[in-house]
A and B are shown apart, each in its own frame.
Chain A
Amino acid sequence: MTPAGLEISGGETVLFWVIAPLMVLAALGLLFVKRAVHAAMCLVFVMVSMAILYIAQEAPFLGVVQVVVYTGAVMMLFLFVLMLVGVDASDSLTETIRGQRWIGLLIGIGLAVLLGAVVGRAAFPPAAGLNGGDPGGVANPQGLARVLFSQYVVAMEAVGVLLVTAAVGALVLTHRRRLTPKQDQRAVADARVRALPDGVVLTPLPSPGVYATSNAMDTPALGPDGEQVPQSVSRVLRIRGQEKAAPHAPGTELVETQAQVGGSRSTGTREGEA
């Protein structure tokens, strides 16, 4: 640990200049990407790259912990919550507070300039490095454990208590107390029959359409009158705006489709080969 000075190898330089721009790009994706799931993927990329940088910076233990804790646990938790929550399209781009976007952007750029100025003007000591090329140096997990369990043992215990408290707190927060009697099958059926005069259908909702050109979940079925039945497409797809039009909606392309069916045996075989 003598401050013999640290030579950063050429390999590490290349690694840094490859990874750092990609990390900044992915972090900017967090700012500009529209869907929350894509933002989560960008953040996963940033965190895995961060783990690589930790390992390059003589912190192998922290690199492994970064992968296990952040990408393994935290981001998976984010994705689970997105599955629970993400159906609503809450990322509308209309401003509710006027000028908030520009003020926010200004503050962000100001922060970046300020931090850059501080880092640029600070006088850093010559880098000492942890190992100094010595394989038995302090930068291995054993050295870290020695510091953690001697100097910081009280903090370690407090952090353990904090983790248990957080787990219990999350359980309490997400626990739902039942305020109304349980809706069993009988009650649901009775409620449907009672709502019959209000135009509620008694039968299950129609299933999505299956056509020669598509049998996907996002195309609505056609009713007996030739109109599309919007209820036949899943609510989630309708909210996201991923619903497609039926291939022959109200009378438009019906003749054309018949012509295709009549005179395109070759088309069918081509599709079969593809």
Chain B
Amino acid sequence: MTLKLKLIQFFRGLTQPVLLPHWWQDAILFIPRVICGFLLTANFGAAKFGLPWSPVENNLGFFEVAFWFPHDVATYGGIFKLFPVFFAWMGAFSEAVGGIFLLLGFQTRIFSFLIFCTMMVAVFLQQWSNGTWNTLPALGFAWVSLFMMVLGSGRFGLDHFISKKIKS
């Protein structure tokens, strides 16, 4: 099997969601996915990453990360101090753009992975010293993205329609 075929098969596997036995089970899991995706892209992400719906007062250009975020990221130390712009951009991108993809259920596993990594950084390097209560928002997103990494979009997402189309 050629590398190209292997790659195609790998991405097909990544896209294909796990379908639960009953449609209503997928419908229940659709709710936290959509809420988390919406909150990430409309609120948490848009405040620090330039999207058309970012607050005007934040003065962010398209796909720009907020000026203060790389400074925050650098304070985490280690590799974050070495590449603060890269990690700040990736973290903000994961929230703002990952939120859209999570909401739509498009490439759910890839973006859930990015969101999960971002939330782990937020929990352990940003909020840990502020007490357990302050880690809850990031942990909430982390749990949802963890489930979505395993299950994919379910029946109610673009991944399901794409997978069906590829099969037929």
A interacts with B: no
A contacts, CB < 8 Å to B: none
